[in-house]
Amino acid sequence: MIRRFLSDSLNSSSLQTVELVSGRALIWLIAGFVLLLIPQWDRLPIWLVASCAVLAGWRWLAQSGRVRLPGRWMRTGIMLILVAVYIATVQGRFTVDTAASFFVLAVGLKWLETRSTRDFYVLFFILVYLATVNFLFHQEIHWSVINIAGVALLLIGLQVVNAPDIPGAMKKGWRRLGLMLVKTLPIVVLLFVFFPRMSPLWSVPLVSGEARTGISDTMTPGDISSLAQSSERAFRVTFGGELPAYRDRYWRGLILDRLDGDTWQQGFGKPFRRLGRVDVDGGVGPLGPDQYDVLLEPTDQTWAFALADSRAVSNNVRQTNEDLFRFDRPADSSIRYRMELVRKPPTEGASAEPDNLQRYLQLPQSGNPRARAFGQQLAGEHDNPQAVVQRLLTRFREQAYFYTLRPPAMPVDGIDSLLFDEKRGFCAHYAGAMTFVLRAAGIPARVVVGYQGGSPGADNEYLIVRQYDAHAWVEAWFPGQGWVRVDPTAAIAPERIEFGLREAVAEEGSFLENDWASPQRYGDLAVLQWASLQLDKINYHWQRWVVGYQGQSQMNLMSRLPGGIGMRELGYITAGIVGAALLLAGLVTAWQYRRVESRHPIGRLVNRWYRLCDRAGVPVRHGETPAQLAFRLAQAKPAAAGTATAFARLINKHYYGRDSETGHHGELAKMKRLLATMKRQADRPSTSSSKG
């Protein structure tokens, strides 16, 4: 009830009815919309982008009067059509992606309805939330800049809608907004640091329907070679100590131990996916000499990549019994985790129980007869598995096997044709073939998939591992030694292991041959490399320190401050910051107001005159005109009659005169003189007036 009263009585402007929003404001909103769509470009269907462009363009043309906005029926028609197309494309999949595109669709449709200021605000709110949604998908610094710039455009639009015909709106608007941001930046930073990073209030998996570039949990020959055409980042690593040599950078991801036809798979069923999200940060603090920090790009998988003989330090990864590392939940955003190298491997072959080992001897019932025979032959010729492996590696090294990104098609008995006929293949081919032969020879073996290598980022601060570093190799089990890494690629193309893919396929010229936009493709352009690495460095620090500033990092940072600051204290601090900011704003307002008052010199003079009158026994009455007051003063102090009248006339002239008559500095000086004289006159003739 009281609220209604307030809105009634305080809002006498409620009579402002539907008024068409100004075109100048609208163009800012459209510009903001376009900017905010850019980060969505790779996840929005093309028809949606096109329709949004058409709808926004339509709205704009309607503003300038060239076309008319559709009527209600047509609007409903357009809406139905677009929603139908949407439903047809989505096909019942509900992911954050489809939700985001529905959101964009809603914005697009809203354009046709935006007529009044109220619609304008609705659109503004939706677009601000669109910026928020964008942050879910892209956190790199350039996307962040685009997002915030989009929001800034919206805020400019808001200024224009509130003052449509303001002179010099654009420049002043930007200046005003910039000043606001600069002034409030300290508060924002403090809030960002101290706002308690609570754990999620409820579980919200960020399920994305988008197929991410990255290794998958099955391996068919050819898979990794398509990955080799991508220069997208897989993860970045900072080492506390020195970098391991290139040839030792084997990042183990997952193990494929079941061969099914041509395809290698994980033997166990897919792990149960718990709903919810994984901690995205792996703590702060200096890295120990054996420690390394991995900042993984989102994979939508639970795999963490780690060097062999590592141990988890941060608590967002855990170790499996295959010495792999897993997150509890899929990595739907960048995740940082911290690992430590264990110099002395724990007791060898601890996990080598016979029943477990049987799994690593599994082969399909049929197929690849020559490779089977070859394996059995090798087993017969050598009595220990090490010798079999050596024999195989020697064969790869000495015979004319080629490492190529353009392997021939080997549809039937692929392993046979690779080993004995074509002899051209990629790491996945060789790893699969070698595992097959070893198993045929009775040696437990498995395919390991992950990355190998990684190139240094700017200033050698960290390693960048890209998708084209994806690799597959073999682990064989030797009694007494446990699992030992064996890499057939190292035998066939040692430069792949020593220097990377670029060198390995340099002759072939197939490095990133389809990815013409990637800076990595143009390795010989030093400037381009440098710029790309610098950008990556900025982004790396952005991701580590800003994007990844979450629960554990915050707690670690707080633990370095004096006084045990926990969640509760952070809450108090946040409240304190907000309170202090508001108080400060109030104080600034008060101070500015005082300054404003002092900027009314005439007003101050008038006040002084009032005080003079008061002393002279002529208290000022409310609403009295200066002339009336002067008249009464003249009656009380006849000596001051002339000056008082003149003073009153000047006041009137100042306040009610024409523009041309006011604003002279001389006027002020004259009034000051008059007041001084009047003061003397009023003081002096107090005797004379009592006489008279």
Partner 1 sequence: MLKAFRSRWQRWVNQRIPRADQRVFGQRSIFILPTGAGVVFTGLLLIMLITGINYQNSLIYLLTFLLGAVVVAAMHQTHRNLSGLELTLIQAGDGFAGDTIPFRLRAVSPRHDALAISLFCDDSQLEHQHVPAGQQHDMTLAIPSYQRGYLQPDRIRVETRFPFGLFKAWSWLRPVRSGIVYPNPLASPEVTSTVQDGEEQSKARSTDGNDHADIRPWREGDLSQRVQWKRYARTGEMVITDWEGEQGSPHWLDYEAFRGVGRELRLGYLAHQVMERARNNSRFGLNLPGQVIEPDTGAAHANRCLKALAIFGLEQPREGAPLPHGTRSDEVGHRSPKPSVVGEGRV
User: What's the min distance (Å) between Cβ of 450 and partner 1?
Assistant: 26
Find the binder of partner 1 among 136, 361, 567, 668 (CB under 8 A).
Answer: 136
Find the binder of partner 1 among 112, 253, 548, 681 (CB under 8 A).
Answer: 548
Indicate the residue among 238 and 553 with the shorter CB distance to partner 1.
Answer: 553
Site for partner 1 in 227-266 (CB under 8 A): none
Binding track over 626-665 against partner 1, x by CB under 8 A: -----------------------------xx--x--xx--
Is 293 considered catalytic here?
A: no
Binding track over 143-172 against partner 1, x by CB under 8 A: -x--xx--x---x--xx-xxxxxxx-----
User: What's the min distance (Å) between Cβ of 660 and partner 1?
Assistant: 10
CB proximity list for 382: less than 8 A, separation 6 or greater: 388, 391
Find the binder of partner 1 among 349, 603, 638, 642 (CB under 8 A).
Answer: 603
Does residue 575 touch partner 1 according to CB under 8 A?
A: no
CA–CA separation, 296 vs 235, rounded Å? 4
Site for partner 1 in 370-429 (CB under 8 A): none
- Decide: residue 391, CB within 10 A, 0-12 exposed, 13-18 middle, 19+ buried: middle
User: What's the min distance (Å) between Cβ of 663 and partner 1?
Assistant: 8
Neighbours of 520 (CB within 10 A): 20
CA–CA separation, 169 vs 167, rounded Å? 5
Does residue 191 touch partner 1 according to CB under 8 A?
A: yes
What count of Cα atoms within 13 Å lies in the side-chain half-sphere of residue 45? 18
Site for partner 1 in 96-125 (CB under 8 A): 117, 121, 125
User: What's the min distance (Å) between Cβ of 44 and partner 1?
Assistant: 20
Does residue 3 touch partner 1 according to CB under 8 A?
A: no
CA–CA separation, 51 vs 55, rounded Å? 6
Cα-based angle 429, 430, 434 (whole degrees, multiple of 5)? 120
Indicate the residue among 60 and 195 with the shorter CB distance to partner 1.
Answer: 195
Indicate the residue among 28 and 251 with the shorter CB distance to partner 1.
Answer: 28
**Three-class SS state of 664:** coil
Does residue 197 touch partner 1 according to CB under 8 A?
A: yes
User: What's the min distance (Å) between Cβ of 9 and partner 1?
Assistant: 5
**By C-alpha distance, which of 645, 618, 639, 644 is closest to 683?**
639
Which stretch in 6-14, 52-60, 247-255, 300-308 sits in contact with partner 1 by CB under 8 A?
A: 6-14
Does residue 550 touch partner 1 according to CB under 8 A?
A: yes
Which stretch in 242-250, 411-419, 533-541, 546-554 sits in contact with partner 1 by CB under 8 A?
A: 546-554
Give the orientation angle of helix 427-440 with respect to helix 369-381, to 10 degrees.
60
Q: What radius of gyration, in Å, describes the C-alpha atoms of the chain?
A: 38
What count of Cα atoms within 13 Å lies in the side-chain half-sphere of residue 102? 15
SS3 content of the chain, % helix, strand, coil (to 5): 55, 10, 35
Indicate the residue among 236 and 429 with the shorter CB distance to partner 1.
Answer: 236
Are 82 and 109 in contact, with CB atoms under 8 Å apart?
yes
**Counting every residue, how long is the chain?**
692
- Decide: residue 290, CB within 10 A, 0-12 exposed, 13-18 middle, 19+ buried: middle
User: What's the min distance (Å) between Cβ of 202 and partner 1?
Assistant: 7
Indicate the residue among 192 and 268 with the shorter CB distance to partner 1.
Answer: 192
CA–CA separation, 633 vs 616, rounded Å? 8
Indicate the residue among 283 and 425 with the shorter CB distance to partner 1.
Answer: 283
Does residue 142 touch partner 1 according to CB under 8 A?
A: no
Is 613 considered catalytic here?
A: no
Are 463 and 243 in contact, with CB atoms under 8 Å apart?
yes
Is 487 considered catalytic here?
A: yes
Find the binder of partner 1 among 68, 597, 614, 688 (CB under 8 A).
Answer: 597
Does residue 530 touch partner 1 according to CB under 8 A?
A: no
Residues forming a β-bridge with 636: none
Q: Tokens 């295959």 label which residue? A: 322
CA–CA separation, 471 vs 53, rounded Å? 42
Does residue 595 touch partner 1 according to CB under 8 A?
A: yes
User: What's the min distance (Å) between Cβ of 382 and partner 1?
Assistant: 54
**Three-class SS state of 221:** coil
Indicate the residue among 417 and 554 with the shorter CB distance to partner 1.
Answer: 554
**By C-alpha distance, which of 446, 384, 372, 450 is closest to 416?**
372
Which stretch in 12-20, 447-455, 561-569, 683-691 sits in contact with partner 1 by CB under 8 A?
A: 12-20
Name the catalytic one among 262, 281, 293, 487.
487
Q: Tokens 């143009």 label which residue? A: 522
Active site residues: 427, 471, 487
